[in-house]
A = this chain, B = another copy of it.
């Protein structure tokens, strides 16, 4: 089985490398030649464009920035659909809106391409260590074919449901982690402003129902004042924007998600976009006069 990989940035590069390490023949393409170089050195083939990658492969992955990029890679001039052999499986692993996936998947199906949405969580570290959580939407038979390839990149791949369901699960993940970060930041700032050691509060609360991985790991990083990404605030802002756009489309009230989206807006607006999302604590501190 020949594998294609399109988009070789912070996430895509280590993911494609892990497919190579898994013993697969991988053909890559990225807009910038310098993004392709490390993959070619590691033994990947290079394609002239996405269409050429698709023509050479049975399963093609993409990992790009947003829905416009996915649309371009999938359906644009020189895109996957243009070069696809009959029966191609196209797996987009970017984080975009569920509605965007469904629209692109429907048009790919007309060209004989089966599309899966397979966004990930775990960040750059998870991409490097093959520790990603992969949430998949689309056809079950295609998922079974892709499953051993997912296993090269992540510790768990779950078929959530039909096309778009992977993106819905990812949106839920971003709600829980985004709101979770804000809740911990609010609690820690509340403690500090009350003259109480936030570290002792965290320790006491880890044993009870307030336990979360965010409180344990991100909470410790907040106490260490370690705001290096990790997962950048502007990326979480982008993902919460997808959540709020979907909420608008579906007529859904998401109040704690909305408050969190606004805080990410304020982080980016006040120059913290390149910090880790846990720098939300600094924002709240600044606003309480410290």
Task: Give A residues with C-beta under 8 Å from B.
Answer: 98, 121-122, 133, 135, 155-156, 158, 160-162, 164-165, 168-169, 171-173, 175-177, 179-180, 182-184, 186-191, 193-197, 200-201, 203-205, 207-215, 217-218, 243, 246-247, 250-260, 262-263, 284, 287-289
Contact = CB atoms under 8 A, between A and B. Distances in A.
A156 B255 contact: no
Contacts of A188: 172
A231 to B, nearest CB: 9
Contacts of A179: 179, 182-183, 186, 256
A287 B247 CA distance: 12
User: Counting chain B CB atoms within 10 Å of each CB, which of A158, A175, A187, A210 scores highest?
Assistant: A210
Nearest to A258: B259
Given A183-B179, A183-B257, A203 B251 contact: no
B176 A184 contact: yes
A215 to B, nearest CB: 7
A121 B209 contact: yes
B201 A168 contact: yes
Contact of A171 (B164, B190, B209, B254): B190
A215 B255 CA distance: 18
A141 to B, nearest CB: 18
Contact of A194 (B155, B168, B208, B217): B168
A251 B177 CA distance: 26
18 contacts: A122-B209, A156-B204, A160-B196, A164-B194, A169-B191, A172-B187, A176-B210, A176-B212, A177-B210, A179-B179, A190-B250, A193-B250, A193-B252, A211-B213, A255-B262, A256-B256, A256-B259, A256-B260
